[in-house]
Every structure is written in structure tokens, then in C-alpha cells.
């Protein structure tokens, strides 16, 4: 059974039941005609007004990730993102002559089907709005634990109205191109039907779910955009560790650790320290002070049983080890695990960080695979940063950012310009004919 929570601009708090996607997809295709010729500027104005409304909602702003979402959806930022993806935002509205007799346009793909993971509650909004910018109509499978927040976030669209070139455009027309659903992931028939209707499949999630989606039948013309499981860590070089800014770097790292309960693919799991005059033990003690400071502002609100058990087991392992060190709070405020094994550790989460010392930060190159998404860095030398980034991205890393910014959604993401993938690039070539 499919539970539908928004369709045709209406919301169903308890979910409206469907046995298949026929009516849903027919409605979305019909509603898709309303935004097919929607001017991009009108779309951006509506989304900008939407971000203003969300930014004034004190209740929503308490939710993790919402303040940055408001910034991301502002007009100035959206225009930067679109231009970075497409080089010229006008490609979304009309054929642009790039040279005599040659024209290019970015046409929408059609029905975009999104499978959204549960690790970051706001993830679905980023996926939906980038697809809407491309004028696609959207069928989105959202986890139940994120459903209340996502529907609450979408409701303000219904009342937005803007004027562009003397014509009125409505947020409700955008909202009718979003259908939020949930159904058991184990139901292969429903998953199969959703996949077969898709002109574009956007997947955010873990390996097991990803492999299941990949096996589903699809149109031969369907475009797959995959954001699968990734791993992230942080690196501090010698100069940063010995600088007076070390505490600031550590505070930024802790913010990266605690965001999204350390469940995001961009959350750091390990901190590599380049050998310096400050010992790994001293850095650990400074990190404890920072954790205690930050935890007063952002206390642990919830810890699931699996994560709690993983932390307890790992703490026990380190307490019993003769060649490993551990610093931890009485509760789950922090767990700091020290060893010098040059390897990436399993994801534990729950404010757990492994710390390792290396003689040279470039030695971590041997650990890099395409599964590494983000490296958060604390470095002072621009040339060293560029060289480090050049070598590690060549081996598979997607993002290298300063600590404190690891979980901020930007573009490209996972090596992909999403908006560019959500359109079909169409051309006219009549050079010399006219």
C-alpha cells in the first residue's frame, strides 16, 4: 500500500492510500504542464519568498539544518548554483545561440523519482527544489521519520504569489508538481512501478538500498543520479596544530561531528594530526574542553539503541587495550579514541571521533578510494592546500573544505552537478542553412 502525503497541492497528514501509482503519475504529468513554460526568474522569486517565510518561523529554525537551508534557497545563492551548473541560466527558458546557426537548450527530463534516505531530515528539500528549478515534476519517497518535517516545510509554498513581467505566478503551481509518498521498502512491486514510471531516478542512501534500486526495471531513456554511501574524515597539518587558532579549528570540528548525529556521509569519523610539537594527547585534552563547551549549547537529545551499543562496545575494547587510549564522558557527550593505525575506522557515530597521528599528511593518500566524500582540513598554507587537494581528489575524494563546513550542502556534491544532470541538453545545428 502506498501512503501519499501531498498530491495536487493538498496535504494528507495521515496519508492517502493508493494501491498503485497510476492516478498519482497521471496527476503529476498533468500538473507538469503548469510549470513547463514557467519562467526561471519567476521560479527563483517564488523559492526566494519561500526561504524568507521559513527563515521567520522560529519553530522550524530550531530544526537541524533549517537555517542553512534558508540561506541555500535565497535568490543570490540559487543564481550562483544555477550558473555554476549550467554556465547560463537562460538555457532553462529558451534556445540560446552559442555560435552562428548553433543553439542549445536545457529541457526538463519529466518525472523525477526520488528515493531519500533518513540520515539527514532536510535532504529531500534540496533534491526536490533543484529538480523543480529544472521544471521536472516530482515523485518523492520520504522516510516516515522525516515526513512531518518535510510536509511542514512544503506547506508555505501554497500561499506564495509573485509578479514577473506583469504576470502572476503561484507557489501552488509548484507544489502540485510535488508528490510525497511512503511505502515499505520491502515491497518490490511498488518500488518496481515507481522505477518504471521515472524519466529520472535520484537516489540518496546506503549500499543495500542502492543495490535494490539498481536492480529495478526502468525506461531505457531514464537517467540515474546516485548519491550512495560515502565516508568522511578530517586532517590538521602541523602549522594549524601549532597555531593560536587550534581551539577554533577544534570547535569547528566538533560542530561537524555533532551535526545530524554524525550520520551524514559528510560527517567526520577520524581526525588525522600531522606530527608537531603538540602531542596527540595534548590535542585530545583540548578537544575535550571544546566538547564540554559545545555540549552546553548542543546537548545530546537522543541516542538510538544501535549507536549506544556500538559506542559502549568500542569503549570497552579501548579500555581493555594496552596500545590504545580513550577519553570519554560519563554519558554519550563525547568519545575520543586514540590509535596510530594508519587506516579508516568503522563508523560509530554518536559524537565518537578517532584520532591518529601521521608524520606527514600526504601519507593518508594510501587510504583514499572513490568512497571518500569529504575531507575537512585545518591548514594555513595555500600552496600546500592546493597540492594536497590535487593529489587526493585525483584518487577519488569529492570535497575538501575547511572544518566547520563539512556538512554544509554545496555544489558540486559527490562529484556531481545535480541541476546539470536533471536536464536533457538539446541542440539545433543549422549553420550555413539560414
- 3-class SS at 357? strand
User: For the chain, how many residues are written?
Assistant: 434
The residue with cell 518490490 is 188
pLDDT at residue 430, rounded to an integer: 92
pLDDT digits (tens, 9 = 90+) for 291-329: 999 999 999 988 899 999 999 999 999 999 999 999 999
Residue whose C-alpha is closest to residue 137's, from 113, 106, 166 = 113
pLDDT at residue 301, rounded to an integer: 84
The residue with cell 529558451 is 94
Query: Measured between alpha carbons, how far is 164 from 313 in angstroms, rounded to an integer?
Result: 59
Reported confidence tier of residue 209, pLDDT bands at 50, 70, 90: confident
Contacts 24+ apart (CB under 8 A), 292-301: 292/333, 293/251, 294/251, 294/254, 294/255, 294/258, 295/333, 295/334, 298/258, 299/333, 300/331, 300/332, 300/333, 300/350, 300/351
DSSP letters for 186-231: T-HHHHHHHHHH-SEEEEES-HHHHHHHHTS---TTPEEEEE---E
Query: Measured between alpha carbons, how far is 329 from 150 in angstroms, rounded to an integer?
Result: 34
Largest interatomic CA distance in the chain:
81
> Above 80 in pLDDT, residue 397?
yes
> Above 80 in pLDDT, residue 432?
no
> Above 80 in pLDDT, residue 5?
yes
pLDDT at residue 201, rounded to an integer: 98
Report the pLDDT averaged over residues 423-431. Answer: 95
- Mean pLDDT of all residues belonging to the chain: 96
376 Cβ contact list (under 8 Å, min separation 6): 232, 233, 234, 235, 252, 253, 256, 268, 401, 402, 403, 404, 405, 406
Q: Which helix (H) or strand (E) holds 12?
A: strand 10-18
pLDDT digits (tens, 9 = 90+) for 103-133: 999 999 999 999 999 989 999 999 999 999 9
pLDDT digits (tens, 9 = 90+) for 370-383: 999 999 999 999 99
How far apart, in Å, are the Cα atoms of 423 and each of 107, 112, 233? 5, 10, 32
> Above 90 in pLDDT, residue 352?
yes
Query: Measured between alpha carbons, how far is 68 from 166 in angstroms, rounded to an integer?
Result: 32
For residues 120 and 266, the answer to whether their CB atoms sit within 8 Å is: no
126 Cβ contact list (under 8 Å, min separation 6): 69, 72, 409
pTM of the full predicted structure?
0.93
Query: Measured between alpha carbons, how far is 156 from 432 in angstroms, rounded to an integer?
Result: 51
Amino acid at each position: 500500500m502506498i501512503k501519499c502525503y501531498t498530491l495536487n497541492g493538498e496535504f494528507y497528514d495521515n496519508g492517502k492510500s493508493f494501491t498503485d501509482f497510476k492516478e498519482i503519475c497521471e496527476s503529476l504529468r498533468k500538473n507538469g504542464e503548469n510549470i513547463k513554460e514557467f519562467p526561471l526568474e519567476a521560479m527563483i522569486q517564488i523559492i526566494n519568498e519561500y526561504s524568507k517565510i521559513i527563515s521567520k518561523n522560529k519553530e522550524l529554525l530550531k530544526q537541524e539544518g533549517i537555517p542553512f537551508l534558508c540561506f541555500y534557497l535565497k535568490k543570490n545563492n540559487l543564481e550562483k548554483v544555477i550558473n555554476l551548473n549550467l554556465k547560463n541560466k537562460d538555457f532553462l527558458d529558451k534556445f540560446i545561440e552559442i555560435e552562428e546557426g548553433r543553439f542549445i537548450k536545457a529541457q526538463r527530463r519529466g518525472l523525477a523519482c526520488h528515493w531519500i534516505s533518513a540520515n539527514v531530515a532536510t535532504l529531500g528539500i534540496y533534491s526536490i527544489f533543484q529538480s523543480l528549478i529544472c521544471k521536472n515534476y516530482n515523485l518523492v519517497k520520504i522516510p516516515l521519520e522525516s515526513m512531518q518535517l518535510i510536509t511542514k516545510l512544503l506547506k508555505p509554498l501554497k500561499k506564495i504569489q509573485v509578479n514577473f513581467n506583469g504576470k502572476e505566478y503561484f507557489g501552488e503551481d509548484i507544489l502540485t508538481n510535488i508528490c510525497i509518498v511512503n511505502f515499505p521498502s520491502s515491497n518490490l512491486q511498488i518500488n518496481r512501478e515507481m522505477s518504471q514510471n521515472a524519466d529520472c531516478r535520484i537516489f540518496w542512501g546506503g549500499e543495500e538500498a542502492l543495490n535494490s534500486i539498481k536492480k529495478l526495471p526502468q525506461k531505457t531513456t531514464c537517467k540515474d543520479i546516485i548519491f550512495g554511501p560515502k565516508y568522511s574524515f578530517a586532517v590538521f597539518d602541523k602549522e594549524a596544530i601549532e597555531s593560536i587558532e587550534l581551539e577554533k579549528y577544534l570547535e569547528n570540528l566538533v560542530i561537524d561531528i555533532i551535526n545530524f548525529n554524525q550520520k551524514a556521509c559528510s560527517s567526520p569519523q577520524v581526525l588525522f594530526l600531522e606530527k608537531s610539537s603538540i602531542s596527540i594527547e595534548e590535542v585530545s585534552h583540548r578537544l575535550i574542553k571544546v566538547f564540554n563547551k559545545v555540549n552546553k549549547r548542543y546537548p545530546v537529545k537522543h541516542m538510538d539503541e544501535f549507536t549506544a551499543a556500538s559506542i559502549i562496545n568500542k569503549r570497552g575494547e579501548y579500555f581493555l587495550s594496552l596500545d590504545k587510549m580513550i577519553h570519554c564522558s560519563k554519558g554519550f557527550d563525547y568519545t575520543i579514541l586514540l590509535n596510530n593505525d594508519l587506516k579508516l575506522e568503522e563508523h560509530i557515530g554518536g559524537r565518537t571521533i578517532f584520532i591518529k597521528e601521521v608524520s606527514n599528511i600526504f601519507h593518508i593518500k594510501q587510504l583514499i578510494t572513490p568512497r571518500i566524500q569529504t575531507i575537512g582540513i585545518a591548514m594555513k598554507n595555500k600552496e600546500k592546500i592546493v597540492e594536497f587537494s590535487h593529489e587526493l581528489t585525483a584518487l577519488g575524494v569529492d570535497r575538501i573544505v575547511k572544518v566547520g563546513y563539512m556538512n554544509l550542502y554545496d555544489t558540486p556534491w559527490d562529484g556531481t552537478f545535480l541541476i546539470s544532470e536533471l536536464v536533457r541538453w538539446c541542440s539545433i545545428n543549422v549553420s550555413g542553412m539560414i
